[in-house]
Amino acid sequence: MNIDTLTAVLREVAGEDETFDLATHVDPDTSFDDIGFDSIALLEVLNVLKREHGVQLDDDVLEHAKTPAALLDVIEEERDAA
């Protein structure tokens, strides 16, 4: 998975928010907090990752993965471990 795919997931969950331009670019090191993803929104991100991309992550990864880049790292680790 790359940042573009994750951005598409974020966009789906956010409902194409106008507060930042998800359509073109999201800074992988911006915190989820800064782009308006609260805990429930991130749970929905995990939901979509599992449902549409077959990526199964436990909810507790959210305690450490605070940015899109960090979440991508976790997804990579998970895939390598599988």
User: Considering only 1-9, 25-33, 42-50, 73-81, which stretch makes contact with another protein by CB under 8 A?
Assistant: 42-50
71 lies in the site for another protein, by CB under 8 A: no
Please identify which residue in 24, 40, 81, 82 interacts with another protein, judged by CB under 8 A. Answer: 40
**From 1, 8, 17, 73, residue interacting with another protein (rule: CB under 8 A):** 17
18: contact with another protein by CB under 8 A:
yes
- b/e string for 24-41 if b means 16 or more Cβ within 10 A? eebebeeebeebebeeee
